Structure formats: structure tokens, C-alpha cells
Amino acid sequence: MRILVIGSGGREHALCWKISQSPHCDELFCAPGNGGIGRVAECVSIKPDDIEKLGDFAEEKGIDLTIVGPERPLIAGVCDHFRSRGLTIFGPNASAARLEGSKAFTNELTERAGVPGKAFKVFDDAEAARKYIRRQGAPIVVKADGEAAGKGVVVADHIDDALDAVDRCMVDREFGASGDRVVVEEFLEGQECSIKVFCDGETIVPMVPSQDYKRIYDDDEGPNTGGMGCYSPVPVVTQEVFDRVISEIVRPTVEQMTSEGTPYSGVLYAGVILTESGPRLLEYNCRFGDPETQVVLPRLESDLVELLLATAEERLSEVEAVWRDERAVCVICASGGYPGKYATGCDITGLKEARAGEDAIIFHAGTERMGRRYFTNGGRVLGVTALGATFSQARDRAYRAVGHIDFEDMYFRTDIGERAVQAE
Ligand code: GLY
């Protein structure tokens, strides 16, 4: 088969890495890819949001299956476009990708489905939102309704921060049209985890759970990032919790989507919080997680291409996913200054030693390859994943591998996996 992956981050490298191991994969392309992806796939210089051009490329090359990494093209309708041209693609149509593209849509749909979530109210008017926030008090959560590259959510400890979030969305229009409507939500307390499933509109095949670290500094301090590391499985997600998430949250959502005429196909990623009263839905994403994919796919024993194709062809009930009973820890190496300003073009050294010496898997995110050398080209530069029989073994391997790698101002958290090690 000829396969195309859309995207350029660590998630897409993990996808390409796993897909390239499948006997079904004859040729693999990635648009646009990155320095490391170029080792397992042919990188094609087309941007993920250039939907028309991606369709032309898939037609010209006779691509049998396309997999979409990031949310933006999904929300913009890349799957609708491919399907209208008779091309096989893995991912939800735009109407189903609203589960990530609109917080109001998701809250309203899951409420109709009886999914345990949080109290919420949707506002098109800033003054009405402010009044409601003053009445409710803090802590409270303010979200831009639309997709805002992970930056549109504010968990406010003080009313002033919540009011400021409303202004940034609706008055300053920091997120453009995505913030013209805001959703104000009840604040929930508990540990967060993410549970993703393959779904073809009817059948659900769950993946192993994972937990990511969103803040830049150790002990979850500092600003939010795209994710500074993660691990899988998640000790607090017992089999009972896992089954409840699937039966009380994911399945009713999938059934509701189908009954409302927008069946969901692709990866459904449930961001869940484990409260005293049980698991509750925080949000959905319509894609693989990043960096979570960098710990989930290394634990997948089964052929990923078979799962992706069966999902896209609505015959997921014919395949199963078998997972390795190992622990996986991924540490992100970032450019100093991230998530703020950072330098690019820094020479990366020690990759070979990290891979070979410690049995680690190095997933590239913001890298560029020139000849045999790699240079930094983004905020999150590399994801270093290691497996182990225990969390402490996986964590030690990952950090030993990170110890071989260097580039100017390299930054990483030193506490990734610590929570899981303590719980072991
Ligand atoms: N790690 C969070 C996400 O993929 O959105």
C-alpha cells in the first residue's frame, strides 16, 4: 500500500515509525514531515491545511490510505474533501470533528447523551458572560468555543482572570472567530488522563490510557505547553475506571453522534478528569494526542495499518488491538524559552548514542535535517521514549537517553513519570 501521513510533529513521527513497520506499507509519504520523519518516509513539501493540494498529491501518487495528524485540517474538512474524491482517509468529517472544533457543540451533545461532564453556559455576548462569572465565582473555567491551538482554555483561580479571559476572546479577539463565543464551565478537581479509541462510527477499539504533563516546569509549574512528556499506562486508571470511561462517556457520545446523523470515524480522544464522584468528561479531541502517541504506539503489538484501514473502511469489528504489557515514558526535549520565544537552527548531537546505548526511541518534532546532521526547528524538538518492565526502568532509560542528547539551551522536565513511579 501507498500511505500518506499529514503533519510534522512528534505524533506524526510516531505514526510513521509504526506504519513503516507494517508489511502492508510499501511506500510512505509525510506532508510536510520533519528531519527525523525523513528517515522512514518521503517528506513532501505540502502544508497540512492545503487540502486541495494534498488531495491532488494523493490522486497523483495513487495513495491507498491517508492519515491526518493535526486537528486543523480535520476541522477544516480534509476528510470530506478526500472522500468526495473517492480517496480513503482516516479521520472524522468536519461535522464530526466539531467534537474538538466547538466546545459548545460538545457540551450540548454530550449533555443530550447523558455523559457525566460539567455545568456550563455558552455566551455570544461578553457582558452576559461577565455577569455569569461574577455570579458563579472562582475557580471557574473560560474556554474559547473554537479551536485555538490549545491556548483558548483558562482555568481561573480569581474572578479577574476569568473576566480577563472573556476580554481576550471576545474584545481583543486574540483567537479570531474561535473566541467570538465563549463557554464558561464549572471547575472540577481531580487527576486528568486521556483515553483514546479507534472508532468507525459503530465499533470502538480502545487504546491504552496515558497521561501527559502540560506545564513547562517541574511540579506542574509555569505556563501551559503542547506537552512536556507523558507515560502509559496510568496507575489511577484502574480497569474499573477505564470501563466506566468507555461505557459512560465514550460509547454514549459515539451513539449520540450516529443518531444525530454525524457518525464519528477516526481517533476519538477523551480528556477525562477523575473526580470523587467518578470520571467526568473535560473535552474531546478528534485526533491522536501529542505527545501521548509517542507512548501509546510503542506499546501497540498489532499492525497499526490494519487498524487504521479497518477504521476508515468501517469494518473495525474485524480487527483487534493487542498491547504490550510494558510501561512507557516519553520525555520532551524543548528549545530553551519555549513556550515563549526560542532560537532555531541549533546543532543537535548525541542522537545515535541515545538510540543505541539506551534502547530508546527518538521521535522528532521540531527538527530539520541537513545532510547527516539535524538542527532544531521548533519549540518541542524531540520526544525520547523508553519502555520498561516497571515505570522506574522506563523512566531511567528515557532520562539516560536524554543525557546523551545536546543542543544549545536544551530544556526538559526532570519529573516525567515520577507520579507513576510513586504509584507503582
Ligand atoms: N497532549 C494534548 C493533546 O494532544 O492535545
pLDDT digits (tens, 9 = 90+) for 263-296: 999 999 999 999 999 999 999 999 999 999 999 9
DSSP 210: B
Average pLDDT over residues 73-95: 98
Residue 359 pLDDT: 81
Say which amino acid occupies 333. Answer: C
d(CA 317, CA 341): 47
CATH classification code of 327-423:
3.90.600.10
Q: Is 410 exposed, middle or buried (0-12, 13-18, 19+ CB in 10 A)?
A: middle
* Residue 197 backbone class (left: φ over 0; alpha: ψ -120 to 50; beta: rest): beta
The helix/strand/coil state of 66 is strand
Residue minimizing CA distance to atom 1 of ligand 1: 290
Strands 27-32 and 42-43, sheet pairing: parallel
- Range from 75-84, 144-153, 234-243, 325-334 carrying the lowest mean pLDDT: 144-153
**Of 74, 103, 193, 194, best ligand 1 pocket probe by most atoms within 8 Å of the beta carbon:** 194
**Of 143, 212, 234, 330, best ligand 1 pocket probe by most atoms within 8 Å of the beta carbon:** 212
Residue 150 pLDDT: 73
**What percent of the chain is modeled with pLDDT above 90?**
96
Domain with CATH 3.30.470.20 in the chain: 191-318
d(CA 339, CA 150): 12
Residue ranges lining ligand 1, Cβ < 6 Å? 212, 227, 285, 289-290, 292
Distance in Å, CA 285 to ligand 1 centroid: 8
Rg for the chain, CA atoms, rounded: 21
Residue 422 pLDDT: 96
Tell me the residue ranges of DSSP E strands in 201-292: 204-206, 211-212, 215-217, 221-224, 229-232, 265-275, 278-285
pLDDT confidence tier of residue 79, bands split at 50, 70 and 90: very high
CATH classification code of 191-318:
3.30.470.20
Domain with CATH 3.40.50.20 in the chain: 2-93
- Kindly state the helix (H) or strand (E) to which residue 84 belongs, with its residue range: helix 78-84
3-class SS shares of the chain: helix, strand, coil, % to 5 = 35, 30, 35
Distance in Å, CA 287 to ligand 1 centroid: 9
Atom of ligand 1 nearest to the CA of 285: 5
Distance of CA 117 to the CA centre of its chain: 20
- CATH-assigned architecture of domain 2-93: 3-Layer(aba) Sandwich (3.40)
- CATH-assigned architecture of domain 125-180: 2-Layer Sandwich (3.30)
Task: Identify the CA nearest to 317 among candidates 205, 242, 195, 207.
Answer: 205
Cis ω for the linkage preceding 291 (within 30 of 0) = yes
Q: Is 268 exposed, middle or buried (0-12, 13-18, 19+ CB in 10 A)?
A: buried
Mean pLDDT score of the chain: 96
Residue 192 phi/psi, 5-degree rounding, is -100, 150
Tell me the residue ranges of DSSP E strands in 251-326: 265-275, 278-285
d(CA 159, CA 113): 31
Residue 357 has pLDDT above 80, yes or no: no
Distance in Å, CA 299 to ligand 1 centroid: 18
- Determine how many CB atoms are found less than 10 A away from the CB of residue 45: 8
Average pLDDT over residues 110-135: 96
Residue minimizing CA distance to atom 4 of ligand 1: 289
Atom of ligand 1 nearest to the CA of 292: 1
d(CA 152, CA 90): 26
Task: Identify the CA nearest to 195 among candidates 183, 205, 207, 185.
Answer: 207
Distances (CA, A) of 127 to 12, 134, 166, 167: 41, 11, 9, 10
What digits encode the pLDDT tens for the residues 129-159? 999 999 999 999 999 999 887 778 899 999 9
C-alpha cell belonging to residue 179: 473566541
CB 350 within 8 A of CB 404: yes
Domain with CATH 3.30.1490.20 in the chain: 125-180
Residue 319 has pLDDT above 90, yes or no: yes
Residue 302 phi/psi, 5-degree rounding, is -70, 170
- Kindly state the helix (H) or strand (E) to which residue 132 belongs, with its residue range: helix 126-136
d(CA 29, CA 99): 28
Residue 44 has pLDDT above 80, yes or no: yes
Residue minimizing CA distance to atom 3 of ligand 1: 289
* Residue 273 backbone class (left: φ over 0; alpha: ψ -120 to 50; beta: rest): beta
Which residues, listed in sequence order, are joined to residue 200 by a DSSP beta bridge?
265
Distance in Å, CA 142 to ligand 1 centroid: 18
Residue minimizing CA distance to atom 5 of ligand 1: 289
Q: Is 160 exposed, middle or buried (0-12, 13-18, 19+ CB in 10 A)?
A: exposed
Residue 152 pLDDT: 86
- Determine how many CB atoms are found less than 10 A away from the CB of residue 127: 10
